[in-house]
Amino acid sequence: MKIDIDKLTESELIELNNRIVARLRFLAQMRAHEQMLEFRVGDRVSFQPDGRPVLVGMLTRYNRRTVTVITEDGEHWNVSPTALRKVVETEVAEEKNPNVVKLHKK
């Protein structure tokens, strides 16, 4: 589909711009929603904010474009689902006490 924008009036260009911006926002929300579905409320997740170590917490809520995570220290973070990673319980145990070795039953 080609649109000759040279023939559009100023008001038509503004309307076209508004529709383009709305469509781009919708597509971004759909991508975020799709990524949110990979996680469930109650999942243990990790993420790494800029300039800070990896934080581990529990996903507590879905927001429009983010999810709310409460860290082990009680901090509330709104995090993009693209920055989240599911935590396997053995990873958490290793981070808390690297001298503990888990033995598997035979």
Q: Which domain holds residue 43?
A: 7-96
Residue keyed to tokens 């990524």? 35
pLDDT for res 63: 87
Average pLDDT over residues 8-32: 93
CB-side neighbour CA atoms (13 Å) of 68: 9
User: Is the confidence at residue 94, as pLDDT, over 70?
Assistant: no
Residues 6+ apart with CB under 8 A from 8: 16
Please check whether residue 79 lies inside any domain of the structure: yes
The two structure tokens encoding residue 17: 């711009």
Task: Render pLDDT for 27-82 as a digit per residue (tens, 0 to 9).
Answer: 988 888 888 888 899 999 999 999 999 999 999 998 888 899 999 999 999 998 88
Residue 1 within any structural domain of the chain: no
Q: Is residue 15 part of a domain?
A: yes
Tokens representing residue 26 in the block: 């919708």
Please say whether the dihedral angle defined by the alpha carbons of residues 31, 37, 63 and 79, taken in this order, is positive or negative: negative
Tally the domains of the chain.
1
CATH of residue 34: 2.30.30.140
Find residue 47's DSSP bridge partners: 55
Residue 99: per-residue pLDDT:
60
Answer yes or no: is pLDDT of 91 > 60. Answer: no
